[in-house]
Amino acid sequence: MQHNRRARALRFLFHHALSPFPRRQDTALTTTLAEPRGAQRLRSIIAGSAGNVVESFDWFVYAAFGLYFSKVFFPDQDQTSQLLRTAAVFGVGFFARPAGAWLMGLYGDRVGRRAAMVLSVNLMCLGSLLIALCPGQAQIGVAAPTLLVLARILQGASMGGEYGVSATYLAEMATRANRGFWSGIFYATLILGQLLAMGLLLALTALLSPEQMQAWGWRVPFFIGGGLALAVFWLRRGMDETPSFKRQGGQRITTRELWRRHPRETLTVIGLTAGGTLSFYTYSTYMQKFLVNTSGFSADDASLIIAGGLAVFVLAQPVLGALSDRVGRRAILLAFGVLGTTLTWPILSTLAATHDRLTAFLLVCLSLLIVSAYSSVNAVVKAELFPTEVRALGVALPYALANAAFGGTAEYVALAFKQAGHESGFYTYVTVIIACSLVVYALMPDTRLHSRIADD
Mean pLDDT comparison of 221-235, 245-259, 283-297, 434-448, highest-scoring range: 434-448
Q: Indicate whether 231 belongs to any domain.
A: yes
CATH number where 227 lies: 1.20.1250.20
Which stretches does DSSP call E strand in 373-451?
none
Which residue segment(s) compose the domain that 325 sits in?
Answer: 39-239+254-443
113-123 pLDDT, tens digit each:
888 888 888 88
Q: Indicate whether 247 belongs to any domain.
A: no
Q: Indicate whether 229 belongs to any domain.
A: yes
**Number of structural domains in the chain:** 1
Amino acid letter for position 135: P
Is pLDDT above 50 for 26? no
Q: Indicate whether 162 belongs to any domain.
A: yes
Residues in the chain: 456
Residues of the chain above pLDDT 70, percent: 88
Q: Indicate whether 403 belongs to any domain.
A: yes
> What is the band of 6 on the pLDDT scale with cuts at 50, 70, 90?
very low
Contact yes or no for 407/87 (Cβ under 8 A): no
> What is the band of 313 on the pLDDT scale with cuts at 50, 70, 90?
very high
Q: Indicate whether 394 belongs to any domain.
A: yes
Q: Indicate whether 30 belongs to any domain.
A: no
Query: In b/e form, how buried is each residue of 267-292, taking b as 16+ CB within 10 angstroms?
Result: ebbbbbbbbbbbbbbbbbbbbbbbbb
Q: Which residue, 378, 10, 382, is CA-closest to 168? A: 382
188-197 pLDDT, tens digit each:
988 888 888 8
Q: Which residue, 432, 210, 391, is CA-closest to 300? A: 210
Is pLDDT above 70 for 17? no
Q: Indicate whether 415 belongs to any domain.
A: yes
Residue 199 to residue 131: CA distance in whole angstroms: 20
390-422 pLDDT, tens digit each:
888 888 889 988 988 898 889 889 999 998 889
Task: Choose the weakest-confidence range: 8-17, 39-48, 55-64, 289-298.
Answer: 8-17
The pTM score is 0.77
Residue 168 to residue 174: CA distance in whole angstroms: 10
> What is the band of 32 on the pLDDT scale with cuts at 50, 70, 90?
very low
